[in-house]
Amino acid sequence: MKVPALVFALALVPFPLASVRQEGAAPHAPEQAAPEYVCPPCGAECHFTTYRQPGGCGVCGMALVPLASVPQVGVLVFPEATLSSSLTVLAAFASANVARVFTVADTAEPMRLADALEIRPQFALGEAPALDVLVVPDGYGLWDDALVVEWVGAAAAKARAVIAVGRGAVVLARAGLLAGERVPADRFLLERGAELAPGLQFDATLAFRRTDNVFLARDAGSALDACLGVIAELGGQPRAQQTAAALGHAWKAGAEPGETK
């Protein structure tokens, strides 16, 4: 039997099945991402393993919780960051077990901090989860990195709390934050702060200051006070007191903003 030429030609034309839809049928709703579950912070690496359904942690056996219920603390790291401020905040939050704490950088490749400690940041800027707490440690030169400054501004706008240590306040200022604020200052900021961040007032008599959801610390010791204040808000004052005791630090709960030491 001969096939008509027109029918034969039509048979050769590709016809995508995905374009076929019954008249009046509703389009498919976009698929929503399945919720993720994690082990609550417990001091082990297992709380970075995610699961697609509730149950028990495969490592420690603790009951899984929704990832969205666990506060996310991101500590920004860079080669010129001071070890004292970077490691202080990491140690405080990691030992408190009230949040999932990790490092963030403009690269996920290994880097050397202060030319003394090599680390591999856990997240690059574009891959980091939304932060509940952003920490900008003390260090030099980060305020000249436009990409990082822009990311800091966006992350800080969504965070529940922001901690800036020493020159980290300059990064916040370059990101459009802290206009007109009094900032705890060391000798470097007293000498060059007005040049680097003209909108700030630098005060050497301040060791720690809080304004709204921003915690400003002059140095690593004061940064620990700032961390404990945030830990108290995330997990309660008893947890903050326990963390302070474990770190051998005499913490004064409820210190007033602007308190001098």
pLDDT at 32: 56
How far is the C-alpha of 168 from the C-alpha of 153, rounded, in Å?
12
pLDDT tens for 28-42 read: 444 556 788 887 887
How far is the C-alpha of 196 from the C-alpha of 154, rounded, in Å?
21
pLDDT tens for 137-153 read: 999 999 999 999 999 99
Residues 6+ apart with CB under 8 A from 224: 88, 89, 92, 244, 247, 249, 251
CATH of domain 71-246: 3.40.50.880
pLDDT tens for 67-122 read: 888 899 999 999 999 999 999 999 999 999 999 999 999 999 999 998 889 999 99
**Residue 163: pLDDT over 70:** yes
Average pLDDT, the chain: 84
pLDDT at 18: 36
Please state the pTM of the whole predicted model.
0.82
Distance (Å) of CA 214 to CA 86, 121, 161, 211, 226: 17, 24, 6, 5, 9
Domain map of the chain by residue range? 34-69, 71-246
